[in-house]
Amino acid sequence: MKNSKPPSKSDVLHGTLALMILRTLDGLGPQHGWGIARRIEQTSGDALALNQGTLYPALLKLEQMGWIDSDWGVSENNRKARFYRITKAGKKQLTEEAQNWTRISGVVAKFL
Amino acid sequence: MQGLRILWSRLRWLFRRREMDDRLNEEIEAHLELAMAENVRRGMTERDARYAALRSFGGVEQTKEAHRDTRGFAWLDALRQDMMYARRTLSKSPGFVLTAVAILSLAIGANTALFTFFDGYVLKPIPIPDADRNFELNAIRARARGSHLWSYADYQQVRKSSNAFRDLYAYAGNDIRVLDPEPFEAHAVFVSGNYFLLLGGKTIMGRPILPSDDAVPGRDAVLVLSNSGWQRIFHGDAFVVGKTLRVRRRVFTVIGVADPEFSGTSPVLPDLWIPLAMFDDVVGGGLADQENHAFFIGGLLKPGVAVAQAHDSMLSLVQGLNGRHPAGSAIVDVSFYPRATYVPMRPDLLLVIVPVFVLFGLVLLIACADLANLLLARASARRREIAIRLAMGASKGRLVRQLLTESLLLSLAGTAAGYAMAQGAIHAIHGYVFQVYTKLGYSFHPLTIDWRVFAYTAVIGIGAGIAFGLTPALEATSLDLARGIKQEGAAISLRSRPRRITDLLVTSQVAASLILMVLAALLMRNAQHVAGIYPGYNLDALVDVRFDGPKAKLIERLKRDPRVLSVTEVWRTPLYGSLNVLPGLANGQAQPLGYSYVDDHYFATLEIPVTRGRNFIRQELTAGARVALISEATAQRLFGNADPLGKVFQVGAPNPGDRFAAGVFQVVGVVGDVASGALYMGNDSTSVYFPAVPGDARNFGLIARLQAPVPPMITELQHLCADIDASNSCQPRILRNVAWMQTYPYEIASNVASGVGLLALALTCIGLYGVVAFAVVQRTLELGIRIALGATRFDVLGLVLNRSVRHVMWGVVVGTPLCLALSKLTVSVFFMLETFDPVAYAAASVLLIAVATTASYLPARRATVVEPMVVLREE
């Protein structure tokens, strides 16, 4: 049951989804899954083939690591939804990861 | 820290499965609604909006699965599901489950029983403290065939001077005659005063033997009963301590009853223990005799002392004692025999053990092949179900895991049943294997199933589960989806090729059972051969009267009894080990000579014909004349075809205890050949009879030929002995029973092998039956078409049978050379005389082919009743 993907979109690079989620939550404040997904897609200019469903296991993982927290809230259309927010540990992690990423992408860029 | 946190949250979520599922469902629902709302805002219809939302979400079910995986212990969750699923599927086919469990339990039970023996004797430490430092010392003497035991003086010296051991103990086993409270032949072990202390022997009543009990020879007439002695002599009397037993002229006081767990360093439990200091009072002159090598010495090495180091110091110590010994019994080396377990693990033991384990392992393999075939059949019946599950997105690995769970569940049930069977039967099997001892009144330290056995059984059980489950699981999940779903039931079989795996399994099963059956046949023939050996005298009429009291009186009484046909005094009774040997010389040629001392009634009693010359005459016996009778084989060896009568031969240095000096003997007669040593070796290659002086104390044997029926006479003989002197042991044995001590290992090996062979045959037949039955069902459509097109019932039967018979044949073809190779390897294990016995090979092969063909024929008959119209209409 493999999904065929339009060739123009890139796969989400392994390990970067967490970074994107953390960044989104850091920028937007508490957000539900749909909101995070939309934000990532918009930010990437719809260039990413994000299976929105893959977000949820990733969110769970981040929660296990203690980088985000979640609680029930009410969405824009008055629906019960789960809202995620970044924790202190998450912010620290985000800074580290961001620095790391900048360094690596800088190195990679030198090759291109 | 991080790892701990994840573990904690996973554990938390593990028990809140439902809650987490609900939470996720809610989230997904919210997500989709929000997405839909946005899509609608963009102008899609509700329907399109929902589809678009679902599309961009990706697989909902996959998300749930991934979420569950992340939640942690997914495998545990999956295992739970698999278990429940497996239980559900299995409970739908109880017949299959029952067959499978029965097959497995038999094979695993047999292997567990075997391992229990191995464990009990070789692996499990004997129940004494620091068993791994316990060694028995063997004296290697200058004279070959000399005793490995020690004199009491040796023990005292060695014990005093050795510094490598914490302490050394000594013991000797003897049968003694208990007179009061009732006459009883007891197995006694005489032990040094430190024996119980060193070996941690506890008592359940009274106290053990202490060093003070063994301090002065003949002073302390005390004894400790074993559990079996307590039961057998005192019938479990709770107030036995302080009661007395009379042995010869001494009255012994019971000072304690030993813990049933304690049996010293031997698995055989004596009836009682007596201090060594009482040895002379009960057994007769022995402690002071420097040449009485009757005592075992053992000890516990000091911590940190290496065996090599201990050996060196012991050797120099012992060589210092050699001045006291005559040259022949000088000790040239001391060997350390580890006594951490009842049987020490040694390379030569492995040579015996490994083939046995391999053979039992074959049975398990046959059982696994059976189950693999059954599962393969089931898997192809479940083809469609599996194809659908694959199509719905189940991963292959997950399905394999699920099918494996099923087979593991089966093997678990089989293992449990097999374990229970082994545990239930082990006592009976143990008794059976050692019946030669139990019939003589010995009791054994019971074999107990411990954690090693449990671990072994669990390992082979799980191993078997994987072995028989993996192939079918892989086979079942590797199929063409579209075809699997579209095609139904029997229609598949038209195109599916005969199963290679099944064929291979059947062939190897047959080969394996052939090996086991040929081995059983060989051992059976072996046992028959040994049991059928005629030693040259009538085993059933002759009785070895084992009487320690005054023999002359007994002989007199026996001669008066009309039912006693003849009585003879002899140095040694036949069948208790091979003849002692002297260096001989005749016609200038050296010739080792087996010999014995007999009186003038020996040949008449044993009905051995004097073929030439004459028997001894009375005067020759009493005068110790230098004359001899020789067997025909000896005459041939010494003198060739020449007339041996009147010829002379020389004997060299006599053994200790011999009654003559080296020198010349004259042949006065020639007698028939007999087998007096090991029966399976046949007639003695040489046998010289020297005259025995009647009444000589060294005439240890007393043999009587009785009128039939002999068995009821045994008790009468005992009464007769008791009448003459009740204080001495008297245990008459029919020579047939003495011979049985030699033949019973063959008998047991043959019976055990037959049992294993039959089990293998039965398991193979069950397998064949299943395979053929399944093939018939699978090929129903094909068979129907063939019949419709004019094939006769006989043709159809042939078609179905052909394949299985071919594989049986292949199995025999492959198995035969394997048998030839293996039987050579197992010669030493099973006291095999003949490894290539065409009759055994032919019989095993024919039986196997016949039974296997029958097992295939029964289900194949169903093929002949296929109704073409019915079958075709069903399709």
Mutate to test the interface with A, among B4, B29, B55, B56 (most CBs of A within 10 A): B56
H helix runs in chain A, sequence order:
16-28, 33-43, 55-65, 88-111
The per-residue pLDDT for B221 is 92
- What are phi and psi for residue B333, nearest 5 degrees? -160, 160
Interchain proximity A53–B6, CB inside 8 Å: no
Mutate to test the interface with A, among B22, B70, B388, B398 (most CBs of A within 10 A): B70
Distance between B34 CA and the closest CA of chain A, angstroms: 7
Q: For helices B838-864 and B500-532, what crossing angle results, to 10°? A: 140
Interchain proximity B66–A63, CB inside 8 Å: no
Closest B-chain CA to A55: B63
The per-residue pLDDT for B497 is 45
Banded model confidence at residue B288, pLDDT cuts 50, 70, 90: confident
Count the Cβ atoms, other than its own, within 10 Å of residue B870. Answer: 10
Instruction: Please tell me the distance from the alpha carbon of residue B385 to that of residue B485, in angstroms, as a whole number.
Output: 8
The 8-class DSSP code of residue B321 comes to T
The 8-class DSSP code of residue B286 comes to -
pLDDT tens, position by position, B694-723: 888 888 889 999 988 888 888 888 888 888
**Torsion angle defined by CA atoms of residues B713, B719, B723 and B726, in that order, rounded to the nearest 10 degrees:** 130
The per-residue pLDDT for B176 is 86
Interchain proximity B26–A53, CB inside 8 Å: no
pLDDT tens, position by position, B60-74: 888 887 887 777 665
The per-residue pLDDT for B258 is 94
pLDDT tens, position by position, B756-812: 999 999 999 988 888 888 888 878 888 888 888 888 888 888 888 888 888 889 999
The 8-class DSSP code of residue B865 comes to T
The 8-class DSSP code of residue B231 comes to H
Cβ distance B331 to B141 under 8 Å? yes
Mean pLDDT taken over chain B: 85
Q: For helices B793-825 and B838-864, what crossing angle results, to 10°? A: 150
Instruction: Please tell me the distance from the alpha carbon of residue B690 to that of residue B593, in angstroms, as a whole number.
Output: 12
- Taking the Cβ of residue A34 and every Cβ of chain B, the question of whether any pair is shorter than 8 Å is answered with yes
The per-residue pLDDT for B93 is 84
Interchain proximity B70–A33, CB inside 8 Å: no
CATH number 1.10.10.10 is the correct assignment for the domain at A16-111? yes
Average pLDDT over residues B31-49: 87
Interchain proximity B34–A65, CB inside 8 Å: no
Peptide bond into B347 cis (omega under 30): no
On chain A, the residues whose CB falls within 8 A of the CB of B72 are: 64
Interchain proximity B62–A33, CB inside 8 Å: no
What's the gap between Cα B245 and its chain centre? Answer: 38
Average pLDDT over residues A26-45: 86
Count the Cβ atoms, other than its own, within 10 Å of residue B789. Answer: 8
pLDDT tens, position by position, B94-135: 888 998 999 999 999 999 999 998 998 888 888 888 898 999
pLDDT tens, position by position, B249-282: 889 999 999 998 898 888 888 999 999 999 988 8
- Taking the Cβ of residue A61 and every Cβ of chain B, the question of whether any pair is shorter than 8 Å is answered with yes
- Confidence (pTM): 0.75
Count the Cβ atoms, other than its own, within 10 Å of residue A36. Answer: 22
On chain A, the residues whose CB falls within 8 A of the CB of B67 are: 56-57, 60
Q: What is the largest CA-CA distance in chain A?
A: 50
The per-residue pLDDT for B144 is 59
Give the list of residues 6+ apart from residue B221 with CB closer than 8 angstroms, or none.
B250, B251, B252, B253, B278, B281
Interface confidence (ipTM) of the complex: 0.84
Mutate to test the interface with A, among B6, B7, B24, B31 (most CBs of A within 10 A): B31
* Whether residue B441 has pLDDT greater than 80: no
**What count of Cα atoms within 13 Å lies in the side-chain half-sphere of residue B481?**
10
The per-residue pLDDT for B271 is 93
Instruction: Please tell me the distance from the alpha carbon of residue B736 to that of residue B645, in angstroms, as a whole number.
Output: 34
The 8-class DSSP code of residue B704 comes to E
Residue with tokens 């961001």: A98
Banded model confidence at residue B355, pLDDT cuts 50, 70, 90: confident
pLDDT tens, position by position, B593-626: 999 999 999 999 999 999 999 999 998 888 888 9
What's the gap between Cα B419 and its chain centre? Answer: 17
* Whether residue B430 has pLDDT greater than 80: yes
Give the list of residues 6+ apart from residue B410 with CB closer than 8 angstroms, or none.
B90, B97, B100, B101, B104, B371, B465, B469
Cβ distance B505 to B365 under 8 Å? no
Cβ distance A77 to B37 under 8 Å? yes
Banded model confidence at residue A80, pLDDT cuts 50, 70, 90: confident
Cβ distance B174 to B282 under 8 Å? yes
Instruction: Please tell me the distance from the alpha carbon of residue B854 to that of residue B860, in angstroms, as a whole number.
Output: 10
The per-residue pLDDT for A13 is 61
- What are phi and psi for residue B163, nearest 5 degrees? -115, 0
Three-state DSSP string of B325-376:
CCHHHCEEEEEEEECCCCCCCCHHHHHHHHHHHHHHHHHHHHHHHHHHHHHH
User: Which tokens in the block code for residue B343?
Assistant: 């049987």
Interchain proximity B27–A56, CB inside 8 Å: yes
Interchain proximity B30–A63, CB inside 8 Å: no
Among A3, A60, A80, the residue with its CB nearest the CB of B26 is A80
* Whether residue A30 has pLDDT greater than 80: yes
Cβ distance B154 to B146 under 8 Å? no
Interchain proximity B63–A57, CB inside 8 Å: yes
Distance between A112 CA and the closest CA of chain B, angstroms: 32
Distance between A110 CA and the closest CA of chain B, angstroms: 35
Among B23, B38, B393, the residue with its CB nearest the CB of A1 is B393
What's the gap between Cα B239 and its chain centre? Answer: 39
Interchain proximity B26–A33, CB inside 8 Å: no
The per-residue pLDDT for B611 is 93
One-letter amino acid identity for B538? N
What is chain B's alpha carbon radius of gyration, rounded to the nearest angstrom? 38
- Taking the Cβ of residue A60 and every Cβ of chain B, the question of whether any pair is shorter than 8 Å is answered with yes
- CB-defined contacts A:B, below 8 A: 84
- Within 8-27 of A, beta carbons closer than 8 Å to B belong to none
Distance between B42 CA and the closest CA of chain A, angstroms: 14
Interchain proximity A77–B37, CB inside 8 Å: yes
- Domain ranges, ordered by start, for chain A: 16-111
Continuous segment of H or E residues that includes residue B720: helix B711-724
Count the Cβ atoms, other than its own, within 10 Å of residue B633. Answer: 18
The per-residue pLDDT for B645 is 92
Cβ distance B446 to B130 under 8 Å? no
